[in-house]
A and B are shown apart, each in its own frame.
Chain A
Amino acid sequence: MSVYQCPECGFQYDEQLGNQHEGLKPGTLWHSLPEDYACPGCAVRLRDDFELLPATSNQPK
């Protein structure tokens, strides 16, 4: 389970937590989303633009 971050607006997606508002269940893998899935925070960047955060910061906030 990893955390991905939008390089534009800083929106974070934690695979372990999912995202309730977006309808992504806990455990949904980021790369299982469609390629053109746009950042829920800014809609400017797409799935593959997101950066994988180092595992050390992989803690639910």
Chain B
Amino acid sequence: MDTSALTDNAEPYRDRKRYAWWLSILVPALINGPLLIYLTGSTALAWGPVIFIYLIIPVLDFVLGEDRSNPPESAVSALEEDRYYRYITFATLPVLWAIFIASVWFLGTHHLPWYTQLPLILSAGLSGGLGINLGHELGHKNTKLERWLAKLVLAPTGYGHFFIEHNRGHHRDVATPTDPASSRMGESIYVFVLREMPGALARAWKIETERLQRCEQPVWSLHNEILQPALITLTLWTALILWLGIGALPFILLIAFWSNFQLTSANYIEHYGLLRQERSPGRYELCQPHHSWNSNHVFSNWVLFHLQRHSDHHAHPTRRYQSLRHFDNLPELPNGYMGMFLISYIPPLWYRIMDKRVIKSVGGDVSRIHFQPGHRAQLIARYGLTEVQS
């Protein structure tokens, strides 16, 4: 059904963002290294996408500001049913696959100085990061088609296990000490990644092997939903190496790493320092809206399928991107994800900007702060907080 003009209490509801979601396709399709170099003939343009994503989008977020509007509840079910929004996600998938292949091809067939290779790798990795974001949106849906598309879009960067790990692991354990994908106050992103990447794979494997055991199916079989996308990865990477030579492998691995590090960055900023209360040993309160950081900055939300309305996503994980909502009085990031990623790469700056926001969002209650073990006493002293008496 077409929801471009829905009637709500005799007042037509128009989704003002309906066509803005095209940016999710247009940004990677137009702003990618190989295309910019091909169009201009200048290898200096390889830096274009890196500058656009990490610097220009944060400026656009700052200038264009926030959008706090929500669709009326009465329009949501029609909005969810409107297949237009789904087709946008479907159409993004081949674009991201093409950029991955084109980037590996370009790097593998041209003799380039390192200062051209580096931005091409970063640029392809940013596009791969958008692929994980798309895989995230698709992987949460309960239709067979969308779950398969999620495996397909995660495959080029070798992160097919994310689909299991995120839905069944992160959403269950979010903002607790057991979650490798929730960051802690005083933990830098460079320490976090060492816990996050291996932890994600281990938890995904544990969840999937438990399911296969219940199904009485062998772990090493095609029933394994981690091995299914891994096989697509292996096939794609092998084909690229047969085509371009073994020299393409380092580029594939570096692009895959930077793509997956974009997910690490998102995980790092989404729940930094926030903690659910333990009700009984190992059992935590339900994930509440105040356990996630949010951003209503318009431009980055258009590029990221509303991922930044993260509290609503955690409360209602199967809700589709077009109907995710803003709520007042939630933890809010001062810029969109891309700007916050860049800040997180400079830990002292990150702590300076975010630690005070963590303290404010929990009302100074240290029992609600997720501290990096070993840093607790020092941080409590530094910020003049009061330790809880046990």
Contact = CB atoms under 8 A, between A and B. Distances in A.
Given A8-B316, A21-B215, A43-B317, 18 more contacts: A9-B317, A11-B142, A21-B211, A22-B211, A23-B212, A23-B213, A23-B214, A24-B214, A41-B142, A41-B318, A42-B171, A42-B316, A43-B169, A43-B171, A43-B172, A44-B171, A44-B316, A45-B286
B168 interface: yes
B167 A23 contact: no
Interface of A: 8-9, 11, 20-24, 36, 38, 41-45
A43 B318 CA distance: 10
Interface in B188-236: 211-217
28 contacts: A8-B318, A9-B142, A9-B316, A9-B317, A11-B142, A20-B215, A21-B211, A22-B214, A22-B215, A23-B211, A23-B213, A24-B214, A36-B283, A38-B168, A38-B172, A41-B142, A42-B316, A42-B317, A42-B318, A43-B168, A43-B169, A43-B171, A43-B317, A44-B171, A44-B286, A44-B315, A44-B316, A44-B317
A44 B175 CA distance: 13
Nearest to A6: B318
Nearest to A40: B168
A51 to B, nearest CB: 15
- Secondary structure at the A interface, as helix, strand, loop or mixed, is loop
Contacts of B286: 44-45
Among A9, A11, A20, A22, residue most surrounded by chain B Cβ atoms (within 10 Å): A9
Nearest to B166: A43
A23 B215 contact: yes
Contacts of A24: 214
B316 to A, nearest CB: 7
A47 B315 CA distance: 17
Interface in B301-318: 314-318
B214 A44 contact: no
B287 interface: yes
Nearest to B315: A44
A60 B40 CA distance: 61
Contacts of A20: 215
Of listed A11, A21, A45, residue having the most chain B CB within 10 A: A21
Nearest to A36: B283
Contacts of A45: 286
A10 to B, nearest CB: 8
